[in-house]
Amino acid sequence: MLRTDRRVGNSKTRKIIRIFVITALMLMLPSGMTVLGATKRNPPQPTDPGIRGGPAGAGGPIANLCNTRSGSSPCSAAQDWTAVNSNFKQVNNVSGTAPIGLGPRFSSNSCVSCHSQPAAGGSSPSKSNPLFSVYQADNAQNTMPFFEANPGPALEAIFPFQPGTQTPNGLVQPLFTVTGRKDAQGCNISQPAWDAGNLALRNPLPMFGDGFIEILLNSDITNNAAAVCSSNQLGICGTPNLSGNDGSVLRFGWKADVRSLQMAAGFYYQVKMGVTNEMFPNEMDETSGCNPNPIPESSTNFGAGIPDYDYPGDLERFALFMRFLAPPTPGQCPTGGNCTNGQAQFNAVGCNLCHTTSFTTPASSVPCNVTTGAACLSNVTINLYSDLVLHHMGPCLADNVVSGAAQGDMFRTPPLWGAGKRAWFLHDGRTSDIVAAIEDHALTGCGTNFPASEATAVINNFNALSSQNAQDLVDFLRSL
């Protein structure tokens, strides 16, 4: 039976809590308390037309995908794709009824729980926070962390520092435990102690088109970043986050600290759901009585008669799901908007210096269609609107999380494709208003321990636009 925590309060109370959380995160920086815009806007502020209506424009497989051995038609309904899609939506239990492996610490019990807007593989839904239907499921004794709101994004938490110290931490902290659940008898562990002064929040990123991003050449990303550094006068100069193993460009996550979708799938299966797998075979919490299953809890399915689509474990299937998700399809311009002019203004003010319009994938050996041999990841121009590298975003957005080359104020430029369907913006999901998200790129007044945001001059340019040009730019973003 699912239960709602009555202490969460009404929507007004939750909004106040959310404002408190964001304020507290800003105040964890040592000096300054005022938040001011980069410049004051003289013309009236544009308005966010809201989440784009119409078809989702995302959530299906890439074109011509047909990776079932039988070559069944239509390819979009191929058995393999249906199987990996179903795995992404499955709800995990601790023990007993399969699939098993939840916990002992977890943040949700299903991938689609946090990645469902506007379809499976997307970001956090707009109308309700899915964690409120998970945290006390099956008699679990969890309380909802103060930084979660409903409605609101399903946020994950990171401790920038070891509690009580200034020693860097940066580890994702699962929100809940299985203590009290009917299928976890004998486990008795406590939730983390949340400290607003040592807390970074993460808004779930959509996965659409990630297979194309994964295969981009390292040199294309680094050359693009170098060209931008040398060709603009706005202070825009991105830094690739490079792997310490092979020097390749890390490209996934808010800090660009993950290289491959397989790695991302294994990491998040363990950290967000607590399910051990062949890439991460050990439990994060090995407290006696809390680990009823042999490890890894998800593995390759050996055995006679196993069909192709059931042979890989969940880790591989999640990676396949992400790799073959189609990029988002843009929609119509909001009523009354001029998105052609909006894109021109987007480029003119300098947004495209970080949000690079497109890259082209190299030739790929991945056989997306086993019948025809077509390699559908090859030589595709993808309009992702991201340079995939790190930028200094100023002390008001800084979260003090360090990861490789990513310093405490640095974030990867998030791709904007699909922004029209997105409900929550920025790394901590602080706003559902795309105009506020633009302005927040250059907040000031939160101290001097980090340099000013690289986007300051760009936001100054945006604030200097006429009302109509600024509105067209916003409408363009909502058309993506």
Q: Work out the percent of the chain whose per-residue pLDDT is above 70.
A: 87
Local structure of 143: helix, strand or coil: coil
Q: What is the pLDDT of residue 66?
A: 65
DSSP assignment letter at 475: H
Residues 330-359 have a mean pLDDT of 97
Predicted pLDDT at 371: 62
| Environment class of 99 (CB within 10 Å of its CB; exposed 0-12, middle 13-18, buried 19+) | middle
Give the pLDDT mean for 69-86. Answer: 58
CB-based contact 460:444 (threshold 8 Å): no
**Assigned token pair, 308:** 């192709």
pLDDT band at 80 (very low <50, low <70, confident <90, very high): low
Residue 301 above 90 pLDDT?
no
The alpha helices in 247-387, defined as continuous H runs, are 261-273, 314-323, 339-349
Buried b (16+ CB within 10 A) or exposed e, 231-266: eeebbbbbbbbbbeeeeebbbbbbbbbbbbbbbbbb
For the stretch 398-446, pLDDT in tens is 999 999 999 999 999 999 999 999 999 999 999 999 999 999 999 989 9
* 435: Cβ contacts below 8 Å, ≥ 6 apart: 45, 46, 47, 48, 474
Cβ-Cβ contacts under 8 Å for 127 (sequence gap 6 or more): 151
Q: What is the pLDDT of residue 79?
A: 54
Burial of residue 100 (CB within 10 Å: 0-12, 13-18, 19+) is middle
At residue 303 the predicted structure's pLDDT band, cuts being 50, 70 and 90, is: confident
Any idea what DSSP says for residue 105? Answer: E
Question: What does the alpha-carbon distance between residue 467 and residue 268 come to, in Å, rounded to a whole number?
Answer: 43
pLDDT of residue 241: 98
Structure tokens at 93: 């239990």
Tell me the C-alpha to C-alpha distance, in Å, between residue 404 and each of 255, 372, 407.
Answer: 9, 42, 8
345-359 confidence digits (pLDDT tens): 999 999 999 999 999
CA proximity to 438, closest of 329, 349, 313, 309: 349
| pLDDT of 20 higher than 80 | no
What are the φ and ψ backbone dihedral angles of 374, each rounded to 5 degrees?
A: -60, 135
In the predicted structure, residue 3 carries a pLDDT above the cut 80: no
Instruction: State whether residue 171 is helix, strand or coil.
Output: strand
What pLDDT, on a 0 to 100 scale, did the predictor assign at position 312? 83
Structural domain boundaries in the chain? 6-479
Q: 């202070």: which residue's tokens?
A: 235
Strand partners, 360: 381
DSSP per residue, 37-49: -SS--SSPPP---
Provide the pLDDT confidence category of residue 302 given band limits of 50, 70 and 90.
Answer: confident
Distances (CA, A) of 342 to 31, 249, 316, 347: 37, 31, 40, 9
Share the mean pLDDT of the chain.
89
**Does 58 or 73 have the greater pLDDT score?**
58
Higher pLDDT, 39 or 181: 181
Tens digits of per-residue pLDDT, 372-388? 666 789 999 999 999 99
